[in-house]
Amino acid sequence: MTETDETTGPPVTLIDAIDMSKLDPKFREKIKSMPNGEALAACFACSTCTAACPTANMWKFKPHQLIRMILLGMREEVLSSNEIWLCLTCYECQERCPQKVRVTDIFFDCKNLAAEEGNIPANVLALAKELLTKGQLYTVTADWEREDMGLEPEVPGLSVEAIKRILKDTRTKKLVGGEE
Amino acid sequence: MVVKSKLPTYNLYIGCSVPVNYPNYEAAMLKVAQAFDMELIYLEDVACCGSPNLRAFDYMGWMTVNARTLAIADKNGYDIVTPCNGCFASLKDVYHHLKHDDETRTKINKTLKKEGLEFKGTAKPRHFVEALYHDIGIDEIKKKITKPLDGVGIAIHYGCHLLRPADVTEFKPEYLQELVEATGASVVEYPLWKQCCGATVLPVDEDLAIRLARDKLKSMKEAGAVFATVVCPACGNQLDLQQLGLKESYGEIYNLPVLVYPQILGLALGMDDEEVGLGMNRVPANPILDHLSD
């Protein structure tokens, strides 16, 4: 686990009372219907995922808690949490789950739902805009380096139009809006 | 008896990070491929894979973009190779998903039809080093080594998306380990070998990303690594370039040269430092030349 200098307070367990009126019983079904969400309910809260996570020690909600929160229907808390965006997508949790819950993939599903509701970190939204308007994440700035290595100056075979065309009909366009 | 009548041929998906940030990786890979008579054809008219970031906020967009690339490769049917773990993960994950989910495949193919394309799943996405391992093989590689390394300790950073999820990536750590050993180097085992380099979290929490890179470098150094190797431009940024950042933010100097695997193999095959672009590595990598036998 990566070490932090500051020790932020507990809770190791969820100590705040859960407001039952805010629970969304359909949330778990929604996640189960999303890519690789099928095994969600198999979680028996052993917290192996949390033990495997290199950064969970800095999270307010640990991976096993997030899975539990999904099962309980705590939609708002999960989808507005920073944790889902801080996931390294390293798959250490998912690989170790004894119940074959695809934890990392489920966090991808959560991020998609959060994005749909407009919950997306500014820098990630900036990447969405980059893809929609430029059609690539990196642009050649030092073509002399490529030429030094005997390569053609531009990225070979790359179509920036194809991705712009596709993403204009998907959520990316909705997220970026009319600012392109 | 089967007679190998033609070169092993592949579609090359170069992505956007390798050609932009690591032309030395691209060139070293091309030269290594040439040394083993692997024919790499750059895929034409293909889009950026979007990285795990696109997957995070627009799953369907990410699927469609990568299914389109797979469908373009299906036209000639040759397997796709890529030098980037991010591209590999995107292509392999989408390939896996479409192979196992008829409903989504039908939906995606409906969209692709507008582009005159169809995902058939004949061209398999693979990491370049996996193609080297399986299609060329360790024995053939060893035969061509003319300047073996002198047993110097190299730490391998595989990168998360090369190894996991294992049922999707189908890549075993042994592949890269044996490839490194084939050059004459020894593989340094270190406790954090599986841990993430932190690249994915860079846009959300830069300090955390830096700390993760630091953990890795520390773990490698403490285990006695003299060099490190990566097979991904994002991991390369975190472990090589980030060493400059660590000097500023933590006042720590690691001085651990990080080479992409084709650079190490290329040198052992007798290529010179310029051919594999050693001068472009951020932490000077020239000390590796002292470990090559004549």
Low-confidence ranges of chain B (pLDDT < 50): 1
CA distance B279 to chain A (A): 11
Asked if pLDDT for residue A5 goes beyond 80, the answer is no
CA–CA distance, A89 with B160 (Å, rounded to integer): 8
* Residues counted in chain A: 180
Cβ separation B58–A170 shorter than 8 A = yes
Flag whether A12 is in a domain.
no
Q: Which residues fall within 8 angstroms of residue B98, CB to CB, at 6 or more apart?
A: B63, B67, B70, B104, B105, B108, B119, B121
Predicted ipTM of the assembly: 0.94
CA distance B183 to chain A (A): 23
Asked if pLDDT for residue A12 goes beyond 60, the answer is no
Cβ separation B57–A112 shorter than 8 A = yes
Q: Are residues A136 and A100 in the same domain?
A: no
Q: Are residues A151 and A112 in the same domain?
A: no
**Of A116, A147, A170, the domain-final residue:** A116
Chain B 185-224, CB below 8 Å of chain A: which residues?
A: 194-196, 198, 200-201, 203-205, 208, 211-212, 215
Flag whether A99 is in a domain.
yes
**Taking each helix axis from N to C terminus, what angle separates B261-268 and B23-35, rounded to the nearest 10 degrees?**
40
Q: What is the DSSP letter of B187?
A: E
3-state helix, strand and coil shares in percent for chain B, rounded to the nearest 5 = 55, 10, 35
Mutation for A interface: B14, B20, B80, B281, most A CBs within 10 A? B20
For residue A105, the chain B residues in CB contact (below 8 A) are 165
CB B73 within 8 A of CB B123: yes
Q: Are residues A111 and A131 in the same domain?
A: no
Structural domain of A112: 21-116
pLDDT digits (tens, 9 = 90+) for B201-260: 999 999 999 999 999 999 999 999 999 999 999 999 999 999 999 999 999 999 999 999
Q: Which CATH class is domain B9-127?
A: mainly alpha
> Closest Cα to residue B198, out of A82, A138, A2, A139?
A2
* CATH number, domain B144-291: 3.40.50.11810
Q: Are residues A33 and A103 in the same domain?
A: yes
Q: Are residues A35 and A104 in the same domain?
A: yes
For residue A168, the chain B residues in CB contact (below 8 A) are none
| Range A143-163 average pLDDT | 93
Position A15 confidence tier, pLDDT thresholds 50, 70, 90: low
B54 CB near a chain A CB, below 8 Å? Answer: yes
- What is the model's pLDDT at position A143? 87
CATH number of the domain where residue A92 is located: 1.10.1060.10
CA distance A86 to chain B (A): 6
Nearest by CB to residue B54, choosing from A35, A131, A159, is: A131
Cβ separation A158–B164 shorter than 8 A = no
* For chain B, domain boundaries: 9-127, 144-291
CA angle A31, A34, A35 (to 5 degrees): 130
**Of A116, A139, A168, the domain-final residue:** A116
For residue B47, the chain A residues in CB contact (below 8 A) are 135, 158-160, 162-163, 166
pLDDT digits (tens, 9 = 90+) for B108-123: 999 999 999 999 999 9
Q: Which residues fall within 8 angstroms of residue B146, CB to CB, at 6 or more apart?
A: B268, B269, B270
Flag whether A100 is in a domain.
yes
Chain B 127-156, CB below 8 Å of chain A: which residues?
A: none
| Range A142-163 average pLDDT | 93
Cβ separation A115–B56 shorter than 8 A = yes
- What is the model's pLDDT at position A16? 76
- Locate the chain B residue with the closest alpha carbon to A131: B50
Q: Are residues A55 and A104 in the same domain?
A: yes
**Of A70, A101, A116, the domain-final residue:** A116
Cβ separation A108–B55 shorter than 8 A = yes
Position A138 confidence tier, pLDDT thresholds 50, 70, 90: confident
CA distance B162 to chain A (A): 10
Q: What is the amino acid identity at position A76? A: E
Q: Are residues A33 and A101 in the same domain?
A: yes
How are beta strands B258-260 and B9-12 bridged, if at all?
Answer: unpaired
The 10 Å Cβ neighbour count of residue B177 is 14
| Range A61-68 average pLDDT | 97
pLDDT digits (tens, 9 = 90+) for A80-108: 999 999 999 999 999 999 999 999 999 99
Q: Are residues A112 and A132 in the same domain?
A: no
For residue B213, the chain A residues in CB contact (below 8 A) are none
Asked if pLDDT for residue A180 goes beyond 50, the answer is no
As for how many domains chain A has, the answer is 2
How are beta strands B125-127 and B258-260 bridged, if at all?
Answer: unpaired
